[in-house]
């Protein structure tokens, strides 16, 4: 079978996305066309776009969302805002896809692949690396970070039973103390309305100095554009926790493929003694269970609260691959 490489645009992928998702393993939101476009518009000016599909006959068997700089190809995206990255490949077509892709990259004079934010079950780790080694390429992978996720049970009571008796008592005590301060509500905003986004950014910057430093004007512009794109795709869930109508914590989540991804969060330090940062995440988990979701992904970072809420640790890798002949 002959395989062809086709240059794609964000527009061409978005127009065919619904059809492609039926045939390709498009597991993670960070590689969706809308996400790639927003990232590229914010941060991609210094690189050359290499957005390619591999076709078997007329059918697409995979997509390579890459950027190229100084002879090195890496994913469109960056580890600070794209927690997982991967190629998008049809199940069973991995070897054919990566063979065609590597041949084309070599033809284009690309010397190295540097791929970050890789889960152990990614197409890179399970298919590309074995193929590259069989072709005699030099491959080096290192653990870059960890992420944590949570398999959600069918009911809230079952989730509470996964906690230790001490954790259950502490959670109950925290909610009772919070209720004593006033009426507590947790509402979800599914559109990127300016007032809600402004509140989110305020709480995020207030919560920790490192988050304030991270949220530059450029990064805020990226987050706003991303929220718009995810809202249009019906994936945005901005959870707002309020005490007596006062916003005290917020969680920015994306809902994709039966998984809720906790992307970022913030809280008012003046209410820190009420554990509002932690409890807003607990309420987000409760909301996810109520809506029948299967997994809650805390994403990268080994913060203690993720373990306390029964997150399961997953190693995240980076991989460097020399592909010169």
- Could you please report the per-residue DSSP string of 114-137? EEEEE-TTSHIIIIIHHHHHHTT-
pLDDT above 70 (res 325) = no
Of 56, 79, 60, the residue nearest 214 (C-alpha): 79
Residue 250 in contact with residue 265, Cβ under 8 Å?
yes
pLDDT at 45: 86
Per DSSP, the three-state class of 107 is: helix
Instruction: Name every residue whose Cβ is closer than 8 Å to that of residue 250 and which is 6 or more positions away in sequence.
Output: 199, 200, 203, 204, 238, 239, 240, 241, 265, 266, 267, 280
Q: Stretch 109-138: mean pLDDT, rounded?
A: 96
pLDDT at 1: 67
pLDDT at 20: 86
- Could you please report the per-residue DSSP string of 251-296? EEEEEETTEEEEEEEEE-GGGGGGTHHHHHHHHHHHHHHHTT-SEE
Per DSSP, the three-state class of 244 is: coil
For residue range 248-265, list pLDDT tens digits in order. Answer: 999 999 999 999 999 999
Tell me the CA distances in angstroms from 192 to 54, 177, 200, one per residue in order: 35, 31, 11
21 confidence band (pLDDT: 50, 70, 90): confident
Which residues on neighbouring strands pair with residue 115, listed in sequence order? 319
23 confidence band (pLDDT: 50, 70, 90): confident
Distance CA 121, CA 123 (A): 7
pLDDT at 127: 97
Burial class (CB in 10 A: 0-12, 13-18, 19+), 204: buried
For residue range 127-168, list pLDDT tens digits in order. Answer: 999 999 999 999 999 999 999 999 999 999 999 999 999 999
Residue in the structure block whose two tokens are 């619904």? 18
All structural domains of the chain: 3-145+315-322 (3.40.630.30), 153-293 (3.40.630.30)
pLDDT at 135: 94
What is the pTM for the complete model shown? 0.95
**Strand pairing of 112-118 and 72-75?**
parallel
pLDDT, the chain, mean: 95
């Amino acid at each position: 079978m002959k395989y062809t490489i086709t240059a794609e645009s964000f527009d061409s992928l978005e127009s065919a996305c619904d059809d492609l998702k039926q045939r390709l393993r498009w597991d993670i939101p960070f590689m969706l066309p809308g996400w790639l476009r927003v990232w590229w518009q914010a941060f991609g000016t210094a690189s050359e776009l290499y957005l390619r599909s591999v076709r078997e006959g007329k059918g697409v068997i995979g997509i390579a969302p890459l950027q190229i700089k100084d002879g090195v190809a890496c994913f469109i995206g960056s580890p600070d805002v794209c927690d997982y990255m991967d190629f998008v490949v049809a199940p069973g077509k991995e070897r054919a896809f990566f063979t065609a892709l590597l041949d084309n990259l070599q033809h284009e004079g690309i010397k190295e692949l540097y791929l970050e934010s890789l889960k152990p079950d990614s197409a890179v780790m399970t298919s590309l690396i074995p193929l590259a080694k069989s072709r005699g390429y030099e491959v080096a992978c290192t653990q870059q970070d960890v992420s944590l996720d949570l398999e959600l049970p069918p009911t809230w009571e079952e989730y509470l039973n996964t906690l230790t008796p001490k954790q259950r008592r502490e959670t109950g005590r925290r909610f009772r103390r919070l209720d004593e301060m006033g009426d507590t509500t947790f509402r979800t905003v599914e559109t990127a309305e300016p007032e809600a986004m402004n509140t989110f950014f305020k709480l995020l910057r207030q919560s920790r100095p490192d988050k304030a430093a991270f949220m530059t004007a450029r990064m805020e512009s990226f987050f706003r554009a991303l929220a718009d794109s995810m809202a249009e795709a019906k994936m945005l869930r901005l959870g707002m926790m309020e005490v007596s109508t006062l916003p005290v914590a917020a969680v920015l989540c994306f809902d994709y493929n039966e998984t809720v991804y906790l992307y970022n969060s913030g809280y008012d330090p003046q209410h820190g003694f009420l554990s509002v940062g932690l409890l807003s995440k607990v309420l987000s988990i409760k909301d996810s269970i109520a809506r029948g979701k299967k997994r809650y992904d805390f994403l990268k970072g080994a913060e203690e609260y993720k373990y306390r809420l029964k997150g399961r640790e997953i190693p995240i890798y980076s991989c460097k691959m020399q592909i010169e002949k």
